[in-house]
Amino acid sequence: MWGQDWMSISELLMPFPEKPKQTFAKKMRAQNYTVEKMYRVAEDFFVSLNFSSLPESFWKLSMLKKPADGRRVMCQPSAWDFCDTQDFRIKMCTEVSFKDLLIVTHEVGHIQYYMEYSGQPFVFRQGAKPAFHEAVGDTMVLSLLTPEHLERLGLVDPKDLLDNDEQKSLNFLMEIALKKLPLVAFSYVMYKWRHDVMSKTYSSEQLNCRWWELREKFEGVKAPSKRSEEDFDPGSKWHVVADLPFLRTAELIKVNIFRYQFSKILEFQFHKALCEAAGKYPTIPLHKCSIYGNAEAGEKFRTLLKAGYSEAWEDTLEDMTGVADMDVRPLLEYFKPLHDYLVAENARTGETVGWTKGETRC
């Protein structure tokens, strides 16, 4: 509905569609996965890095699945810090699926960030920047998705490891790319649209058509049917109607920080720095590197999280990565095998890269 990830069309875009797709649902069922077990798996990853276990109050007070009594609840996944240094909760209507396991890991990342900086004075108990908060759990997801860790969880058989088949590896990277990279363009469209609304760049009679104009320009997608100002398609996104601050204008002007867009850059920066700390990179490619169980990587990551908002975000980032600004190179390096393949394949087939503006549907 939003196009913030393109997983729904992954079967059309696999470099080698004849290769069997990695599916995890059957393995999860065979291991009797429950909602609680999914949270325990996410917790275990952080604990293996010497992070703290989730407090007992988390398990008692969180809403981890949809209430059985039929109560109407907001199912949008979210993590909560009750600001007393002890009470941390997640609200999510979790279902037993691999997709939700990744979301759970993301949300537990928020909780671990809350817990690590809870020792700071109250004014510093927040992420160094909003994008840092979104990147923590997703950094762990990059390790969780490696063949090494999937085997550890019993979700792939050793004989099926991606390491043994470069074509499967490229399919795997395509799936990750379709999940993560479209969000960069989608989030920018949302920032730009909301900024233009608030600054009254265009009138209230142009809200929906402007949305689709931006989506076609930056994402290369258009409405599936004719739209008009009687529709309000941006309102289908929870962050719009819930007034979640995707962007703060002052931050946009001063340091160009976007919460979700730049979290995608930061998670790969974090991942590379942690793989280096673990002594695995560059021996092991970034897309095959798992930091599970590595104390050195865990200590480096905890140092970043403990700082919270107590110092300039550039200093916090430099302490961990050695670079005092966001750097897209680790992301490009992670996807380099896929990028090299696509460049060669597009040259071979004469494919046109990009898109041209077509007939308007608004």
In the set 148, 195, 229, 239, the catalytic residue is 239
Angle formed by the axes of helices 182-198 and 207-219, nearest 10°: 150
Q: Which domain holds residue 166?
A: 7-179+263-327
Answer whether the bond into residue 20 is a cis peptide, omega within 30°: no
Element (H, E) at 78: strand 78-81
In this prediction, residue 248 carries a pLDDT of 43
8-state DSSP, 145: T
Residue 215 lies in a domain: no
The closest of 125, 80, 114 to 309, measured between CA atoms, is 125
For tokens 């009470």, name the residue.
87
Which residues does the annotation place in the binding site for Zn(2+)? 106, 110, 134
Q: Within 13 Å and on the Cβ side, how many CA atoms surround 263? A: 24
Residue 218 lies in a domain: no
Annotated catalytic residue 239: yes
- What whole-number distance in Å separates Cα of residue 320 and Cα of residue 306? 12
Q: Domain count of the chain?
A: 1
353 in Cβ contact with 346 (< 8 Å): yes
pTM (two decimals): 0.87
Residue 341 lies in a domain: no
Residue 348 lies in a domain: no
The first and second tokens of residue 235, run together, are: 């309102």
Task: Write the CA distances from 322 to 52, 272, 284, 309, 325, integer angstroms.
Answer: 26, 11, 20, 19, 9
Residue 221 lies in a domain: no
Digit-by-digit pLDDT tens for the chain (362 residues) are 678 889 888 889 999 999 887 778 889 999 999 999 999 999 999 999 999 999 999 999 999 999 999 899 999 899 999 999 999 999 999 999 999 999 999 999 999 999 999 999 999 999 999 899 999 999 999 999 998 899 999 998 766 655 568 898 899 999 999 988 998 889 889 888 988 998 888 888 899 999 999 999 999 988 889 999 999 999 988 778 877 654 444 444 333 336 777 888 999 999 999 999 999 999 999 999 999 999 999 999 999 999 999 999 999 999 999 999 999 999 999 999 999 999 999 999 999 888 887 777 78
Residue 89 lies in a domain: yes
- What whole-number distance in Å separates Cα of residue 139 and Cα of residue 122? 26
Residue 202 lies in a domain: no
In this prediction, residue 250 carries a pLDDT of 40
In the set 107, 116, 213, 267, the catalytic residue is 107
Which residues does the annotation place in the binding site? 106, 110, 134, 259
For residue 334, which amino acid is it?
A: Y
318 in Cβ contact with 324 (< 8 Å): yes
In this prediction, residue 159 carries a pLDDT of 63
Residue 2 lies in a domain: no
